[in-house]
A and B are shown apart, each in its own frame.
Chain A
Amino acid sequence: MDEDTPLLNELEKGPWPSYVKEIKRMAKKNKAAKDLLGIQELSYKDRVTHWKHGGIVGVTGYGSGVIGRYCDEPEKFPDAAQFHTMRINQPAGWFYSTKSLRQICDIWEKYGSGMTNFHGSTGDIILLGTTTDNLQPCFDTVTEAGFDLGGSGSALRTISGCVGQARCEWSNFDTLKLVYDLTMEFQDEIHRPRWPYKFKIKASGCPNDCVAAIARADFTIIGTWRDALRIDQNAVKDYVDNGFDIKGLVVDKCPSEALEWDDKNKELILKADDCVRCMHCINKMTKAIRPGIESGATILVGGKAPIIKGAYLSWVLVPFIKIEPPYDEIKDLLRKIWDWWDENGRTRERLAELIERMGLKNFLKEVGIPPVPQMVYKPRANPYVYF
């Protein structure tokens, strides 16, 4: 095998774990994996992709979850001529029992190339490479094992969230519970594409935003709190006694000058009204400072990558909302947004692009949310106002 892949062999060297070793490992017992290796080597030689555009394949009853993929040199690589991907919706927070992982492994060894991504960038388990004929039996076995497909195409994409309260003291709501609940509520929207384009929902438990929700999700939920952060002055003293430069590394770096260090009394003073809850002081003094107790989230909308009209970060829509089951307010808001977008959006127009085209003002009216200053950095400078 090595003599056929002089370029890829280079990527078996070096300290970082090698995906080439992984493909070779599978190629010893799986013909599709062997051809995948050949196709990758050919791309390294030719410096272009050897995968053809799309192809509509899927499983009965779904329009989502399977990405059709065909090699452009099927004669040379017959065992990867059809190399479709299945997206498997991950359990919230990417926690697994080894029993469930081994089941997925056995299924994919039987029906596919044995190559996977743990995980795709949206969050799904990606099962890379199977034939059209194997899709349905593979899917049936996947569901028997208790898993289901994720989203693809112009659908609600697989929802993801950070580790949340499962293993983080900063999470202002239960991200896993919310992600699971919304995923179960919107199975139809995930599995049957019907919209102008994709729609993504991501939930982070605090403003550190470990799942990059603000950059990547049309509907961004980021945990925050309404009251003052909590300071344990004894723990603060411990930090300072151990030589921690509280003035230089925490107080001076507070973006809204909400902290003062009283060196005489060894006390960290918070001007709660000035705090913008950025997380910096909490991040750096994990034992001494914690988020407040009146917890909830900020909802922002519109985050996306550049295609088509440029990249957008999500915009504040609801500055503060309690996040509690059964999450009816969030579900109602989502349905209102989808109705408006579906009604007005052009093909391949994401929510942010539609809001920009129609105006945030009109969007707010449609979803019934009154304007507040927290939605903007600053008011308009021009005089061109519709009355």
Chain B
Amino acid sequence: MGRTDLGPPDYRDMLPDAIKRNYGKWKYHEKVRAGVLKHVSETGDEVYTVRVGSPRLVSVDFIRDICDIADKYCDGHLRFTSRYNIEFITDNKSNVNGIIEEAERLGLPAGGTGNSISNIIHTQGWIHCHSAATDASGLVKAIMDEMHEYFTSMKLPAYVRIAVACCINMCGAVHCSDLAVVGVHRKPPRVDNEKVLAQCEIPTTIQSCPTGAIRRHPDPNVKSVVVREDLCMYCANCFTVCPAMPLADADGDGVAIYVGGKVSNARKPPMFSRMVVPFLPNNPPRWKEVVDVLKKIVEIYAKNAKQYERMGEWIERIGWEKFFGLTGIPFTDQHIDDFTHAVETYRTTTQFKW
């Protein structure tokens, strides 16, 4: 047995020289073009960052490829952003074009800076998750193929953050994104009584349900649970604690679309994304219905929002009734909240538009 609890490597051993020299001394930065940042230090140093997109799910050979670029141009260092982009950092301006060219040769576009659509924060989906209601990597690929021009430019009113979560556990900040795609189930769990007996703790399973839909089996000889289907909203919390209650279903599963969230405090405080499409079917490999709605929302936003106005700020200014009108997305009873914080969303004023 080896050592334990040594922790990650010290970040100071991972910094390129240009960063070490100017650590904590930065004065300002500029966006030179889409995908290229220039940071200027109090020391007078100018440091360039080339940001390129990545599919996130990559082979070790992909990592070796980007290491080759970093060895050639960036004194053997690179970094990743919180949105999975790769950043090559150099204090030699003449390296910038070489980095971009070599990255493009690998199929990696420079971009994701400023008022762009950067890489999509996402989860595992069918690649690795037991609770996924949709895929993530494939959905992301399908969306980013359509949004590519917005990754490689900075022409939107403000940046648009997209996130994909393959179920409502939402590993990632899906609930506060400008555009969010979330995998949803629409069928209650199917209880396998024999497996419940073998694999589940019944009190924990009953307690796991936020709507109280799970009860003991009415027959005391059956050591299992029953689900009141009219109370179930398919959150799958029971499935997490009890594997004998799967919800996944090819026709029941699909995605919902949420819009208008943000985490930055700039101008308006952070806000949650709000549901605009309750359900679209899983239609792999391209999820055409989903991609079409997202593209349409982005285009209408780009056309109508004021400069520097985030998606959610734009919608708040024009009003949700206008948003549904402009996008043509139907408003249904499923849009009206009936969960824990529902009443905060009901309108308490005579102020509205037509």
By the criterion CB–CB under 8 Å, are B127 and A162 in contact? no
Cα(A139)–Cα(B266), bound, Å: 42
Cα(A11)–Cα(B81), bound, Å: 24
A162 — which chain B residues lie within 8 A by C-beta? 82
Q: Which of B143-177 contact A (CB under 8 A)?
A: 144-145, 148, 151, 165, 168-176
CB proximity of A251 to chain B, nearest CB, Å: 12
CB proximity of B190 to chain A, nearest CB, Å: 13
By the criterion CB–CB under 8 Å, are A279 and B265 in contact? yes
Contact count band on A: 35 or more
Q: Which of A158-188 contact B (CB under 8 A)?
A: 160, 162-163, 165-169, 174, 176, 179-180, 183-184, 187-188
Cα(A21)–Cα(B61), bound, Å: 11
Cα(A208)–Cα(B29), bound, Å: 15
The chain A residue with its CB closest to the CB of B4 is: A61
By the criterion CB–CB under 8 Å, are A215 and B130 in contact? no
By the criterion CB–CB under 8 Å, are B8 and A147 in contact? yes
In this assembly, does A207 line the interface, its C-beta being within 8 Å of a C-beta of chain B? yes
Which among A48, A144, A169 is the interface contact of B250 at CB below 8 angstroms? A48
Cα(A116)–Cα(B123), bound, Å: 13
In this assembly, does B277 line the interface, its C-beta being within 8 Å of a C-beta of chain A? no
Cα(A60)–Cα(B174), bound, Å: 34
By the criterion CB–CB under 8 Å, are A311 and B272 in contact? yes
- Among B122, B148, B210, the most chain A Cβ lie within 10 Å of the Cβ of B210
In this assembly, does A23 line the interface, its C-beta being within 8 Å of a C-beta of chain B? yes
By the criterion CB–CB under 8 Å, are A211 and B270 in contact? no
The chain B residue with its CB closest to the CB of A36 is: B127
In this assembly, does B3 line the interface, its C-beta being within 8 Å of a C-beta of chain A? yes
Which among B3, B243, B284 is the interface contact of A54 at CB below 8 angstroms? B243
By the criterion CB–CB under 8 Å, are A148 and B7 in contact? yes
CB proximity of B328 to chain A, nearest CB, Å: 26
A101 — which chain B residues lie within 8 A by C-beta? 63, 67, 78
By the criterion CB–CB under 8 Å, are A348 and B175 in contact? no
Cα(A95)–Cα(B249), bound, Å: 41
B251 — which chain A residues lie within 8 A by C-beta? 47
In this assembly, does A384 line the interface, its C-beta being within 8 Å of a C-beta of chain B? no
Task: Evaluate whether A17 and B55 lie within 8 angstroms (CB atoms) in the complex, with A121-B122, A310-B339 already known.
Answer: yes
Determine, out of A85-93, A327-335, A363-371, the stretch whose residues face the partner at the interface.
Answer: A85-93
Q: Which of A234-254 contact B (CB under 8 A)?
A: 249, 253
By the criterion CB–CB under 8 Å, are A139 and B126 in contact? no
Cα(A39)–Cα(B132), bound, Å: 14
- Among B80, B106, B208, B251, the most chain A Cβ lie within 10 Å of the Cβ of B80
By the criterion CB–CB under 8 Å, are B59 and A14 in contact? no
In this assembly, does A114 line the interface, its C-beta being within 8 Å of a C-beta of chain B? yes
By the criterion CB–CB under 8 Å, are B76 and A97 in contact? yes
By the criterion CB–CB under 8 Å, are B54 and A215 in contact? no
By the criterion CB–CB under 8 Å, are B79 and A163 in contact? yes
In this assembly, does B19 line the interface, its C-beta being within 8 Å of a C-beta of chain A? yes
Q: Which of A97-127 contact B (CB under 8 A)?
A: 97-102, 104-106, 108-109, 114-123
Determine, out of A266-274, A282-290, A317-325, A337-345, the stretch whose residues face the partner at the interface.
Answer: A282-290
By the criterion CB–CB under 8 Å, are B23 and A210 in contact? no
The chain B residue with its CB closest to the CB of A170 is: B26
By the criterion CB–CB under 8 Å, are A167 and B6 in contact? no
By the criterion CB–CB under 8 Å, are B9 and A348 in contact? no
Cα(A183)–Cα(B8), bound, Å: 8
A74 — which chain B residues lie within 8 A by C-beta? none
In this assembly, does B39 line the interface, its C-beta being within 8 Å of a C-beta of chain A? yes
Cα(A293)–Cα(B36), bound, Å: 28
Task: Evaluate whether A209 and B264 lie within 8 angstroms (CB atoms) in the complex, with A98-B78, A119-B84, A167-B19 already known.
Answer: yes
Task: Evaluate whether A105 and B64 lie within 8 angstroms (CB atoms) in the complex, with A140-B1, A187-B5, A255-B267 already known.
Answer: yes
The chain A residue with its CB closest to the CB of B27 is: A169
B26 — which chain A residues lie within 8 A by C-beta? 165, 167-169
The chain A residue with its CB closest to the CB of B239 is: A53
Which among A22, A102, A255 is the interface contact of B59 at CB below 8 angstroms? A22
CB proximity of A171 to chain B, nearest CB, Å: 8
Cα(A54)–Cα(B200), bound, Å: 13
In this assembly, does B237 line the interface, its C-beta being within 8 Å of a C-beta of chain A? yes
In this assembly, does A134 line the interface, its C-beta being within 8 Å of a C-beta of chain B? no
In this assembly, does B204 line the interface, its C-beta being within 8 Å of a C-beta of chain A? yes
The chain B residue with its CB closest to the CB of A160 is: B82
B56 — which chain A residues lie within 8 A by C-beta? 19, 117-119
B63 — which chain A residues lie within 8 A by C-beta? 101-102, 104-105, 116, 118
Which A-B residue pairs are the 4 nearest by beta carbons?
A14-B145, A53-B243, A207-B265, A305-B170
- Interface residues in chain B, defined as those with a beta carbon under 8 Å from any beta carbon in chain A: 1-11, 13-16, 19, 23-24, 26-30, 39, 47, 49, 53-64, 67, 70-71, 76-82, 84, 86, 89, 106-109, 121-123, 125-132, 135, 137-138, 141-142, 144-145, 148, 151, 165, 168-176, 204, 207-208, 210, 235, 237, 239-241, 243, 246, 248-251, 253, 261, 263-268, 270, 272, 282, 284-286, 307-308, 339-341
5 contacts between A and B (CB under 8 A): A26-B59, A47-B284, A118-B86, A140-B2, A167-B47
- Interface residues in chain A, defined as those with a beta carbon under 8 Å from any beta carbon in chain B: 7-8, 10-11, 13-23, 25-26, 33, 36, 39-40, 43-44, 46-54, 60-62, 69, 83, 85, 88-102, 104-106, 108-109, 114-123, 128-129, 136, 139-140, 143-144, 146-148, 160, 162-163, 165-169, 174, 176, 179-180, 183-184, 187-188, 191, 207-216, 222, 249, 253, 255, 277-280, 283-284, 286-287, 290, 305-311, 313, 346-348
